Structure 1
């Protein structure tokens, strides 16, 4: 299960990178906003990975894993429903934080 979810996080990054030109056109986003759609996810994932591991140690890895999975799904739905680039970037940042919570689960 943990490997499937980990793959889902990487797959999401690839899907968004491929769909970025269409997203930029549909949302009438600037090139910098389009870059934040991809970079916001990767940046917050990297920044939240160590604190998420520590929270997993403190509150339980399984609990944090399930909470992160639910948050990822909800933020993914929010990204899909985003009417402009601003909410899309915010949803992608939330996805990065949620995906970081999966990092320590595979050590169980």
Structure 2
């Protein structure tokens, strides 16, 4: 439950289907890196990602060029078009559900 020790590098290397990180130290800029990796075909096994962190804030930090409010309920697609993910945001938490585009 306390995943403060789980770094961005650990997350980027993760091959799990479900990733749940509560009480994380990850922040908006880390989420930007994660979503960019997903869009370029990273996380091939991922089906669900949930991150809760006091460092996820609706501030001026952009994630995929948008603020958190703009990302809420947004569907993003991998560059190859094979997968789509729906992003949901609530205060201090982000969730990404992945589906194949077929």
Please confirm whether the aligned pair reaches a TM-score higher than 0.5, indicating the same fold: no
Q: TM-score, normalised by structure 2?
A: 0.25
Greater helix percent: which structure? 1
Higher alpha-carbon Rg: 1
